[in-house]
Chain A
C-alpha cells in the first residue's frame, strides 16, 4: 500500500508549481487549508490561477497580497462580517491581477463538468449579466430540444490542483470530508488533490459504513499532511470556532500594504521561525 502521508506542509505545497491552476474551497464550514496556504506563501509560489469554489475570503486575500496570484476566478472574495477583502480590492484597483468574475452555480457547474470529463454544461440564468458579457468562454447557445430558448454553456473547469482541509485521513490516503461533501467535486475535477487533515485515522476509512459515504478514495488524493488546527484562523465545524480576534486583526492590518507586510512577518514567516526554534 502506498503511503501518501507527506512528512510536512512544506513538502505538500512544494508539489504545486508556479503557474498552476489551483482550486480552493469557500470559507464557511472549515475546509480551508490555511496552514498549507501560509506554507505556500513562505515558499514564494508565483503566477497561480486561483479558482475559488465558489467564493473565498482570507485565503485568497492572503495569496493575492503575498504576490502568489496572477489570475483569480471567483464569485466573490470577502472577509464577510470583517468587511471587504482589502488585498483583493487593492490588486484589482492596481490592475496587478487578472480578475475573472463568475457566479456561484457556474463555478460548481464548471467543476461538475470537469468531474464528469465533459466539455461543458448548460446553466439557466446569467443571460444579460455583465459576467457573460466580459467572459468569452461563457457562450450563449440554443437549447437543441426547444425552439428559441437561449441557454449559457459553462465550460469545464479542470484545475491542476485542489487544496483543502478535512477532519480525518488514513495511512492509505483516503480522506474523510465530514459535512463538507461538496469537496468531492473539487477532488474529482482536479488532476491532483493535496489535502491537510486535522488528525490521522487509525484504520481504513472505507471500511467504516458511517464514514465511507463522505470519504474521498486515495484514487483522487496525491498527498496528505496532518495539520492540527489546519483551518485556523477559520473554524472547523465540530472541531473549533473561528478566531474572531485574529480575523479582525487581519482585516485591520491588511487595510494597508505596510500593515499587510507586518502581518506576513508576524503570522506567516514568523510561524516558520517559531516552529524552527
Chain B
C-alpha cells in the first residue's frame, strides 16, 4: 500500500463504481478483476439491488449460464454496463485486441477480439479500462479495429463507450464528436503528464479536477465485502491486494 492509505487499484475501483451509478445489471468479462470489484462495490452501495454477472465466478448469485446466454442478454438490452480494454485504444475509441502491424501477418499478435465487436454495440454503458497509460497503448489510430468507437447513424447501436479509465486519469467520451475529454487526473498525476503519455488528441478543459480519493466507507466496503466476493473469480488478485480468500 502506498502512503495515501489505499492501494492504487482501490482508487480505480472507486472511480469505476461511480461510473456505474444507476445500472440494473452489470456484466464482467474475462481478465477484469478491477472492473469486477467496481461492479461489486456498486452493488453494495445500492443495497444489493444491482445484478452483477461475473464470467468465471462459481458463486451462484454472480455466475452466468455461459456465453450464449450472456450475448443474448446483451442483444435484448438486458445488460446495462460492460467493460472492454485494448492492446491499442485510439482517439475515436476504436479498440484493438488483435495485434500490431499489418494484418494478418502481424509482428505482434494478441489473443483476438472476443465479444467486443458485439457488446460495444449492444451494451449502453461500456467502460474502457486499461491500466497502462502510454503512447504505445493510447494511439492516434489502431492497427486493427476489433470494435469501432462510433458508427454511422443508420447502424443499429444502442450501446457504446462512455469513458476510459487508466492509472493516470479518467476520460469521458462524446460519441457525437468522436472524441475523449479529460475529466479528472488521479492524485499524484498531472495534466502535463497525461498529455505527454497519450498518443491521441483529446479535449482538455482549462481546469481539470483531481479524481477524488476513496473515503473510509468505500475502503471498508471494498476490503470487507467486495474482496471475498471477487476472490472467487480472481483469487490471485484478492490475495495480492487484501490477503483474502474466496467466500465460496
Contacts and interface: CB of A to CB of B under 8 A. Distances in A.
A128 B148 contact: yes
Interface in B173-218: none
A124 B75 contact: yes
A219 interface: no
A237 interface: yes
A181 interface: yes
A134 interface: yes
Interface residues of A, number: 49
Interface string A96-115: 00110111111010001000
B218 to A, nearest CB: 27
B242 interface: no
B112 A101 contact: yes
Nearest to A99: B104
B30 interface: yes
A106 B132 CA distance: 30
B122 interface: yes
A92 B151 contact: no
B58 A95 contact: no
B114 A84 contact: no
A128 B145 contact: yes
Contacts of B68: 108, 112, 182, 185
Interface stretch (A8-16, A72-80, A192-200): A72-80
Contacts of B121: 124-127
A102 B116 CA distance: 10
A74 B115 contact: no
Contact of A95 (B105, B110, B115, B116): B105
Given A75-B115, A108-B68, A128-B145, A89 B155 contact: no
A101 B113 contact: yes
A104 B111 contact: no
B154 A76 contact: no
A185 B58 CA distance: 22
Output the residue of B68, B103, B145, B152 with the most chain A CB within 10 A: B68
Contacts of A102: 112-113
A93 B106 contact: yes
A131 interface: yes
A55 B66 CA distance: 13
Interface string A179-190: 011100100000
Interface of A: 26, 28-29, 54-55, 74-78, 80-81, 84-85, 88-89, 92-93, 95, 98-99, 101-106, 108, 112, 123-131, 133-134, 148-151, 180-182, 185, 237
Interface of B: 30-31, 55-56, 58, 65-68, 71, 75, 97-99, 103-122, 144-148, 151-152, 154-156, 236
Given A128-B152, A131-B113, A182-B67, 14 more contacts: A76-B97, A76-B114, A89-B108, A92-B104, A105-B71, A106-B118, A108-B71, A125-B147, A126-B118, A129-B147, A130-B98, A150-B155, A180-B66, A182-B68
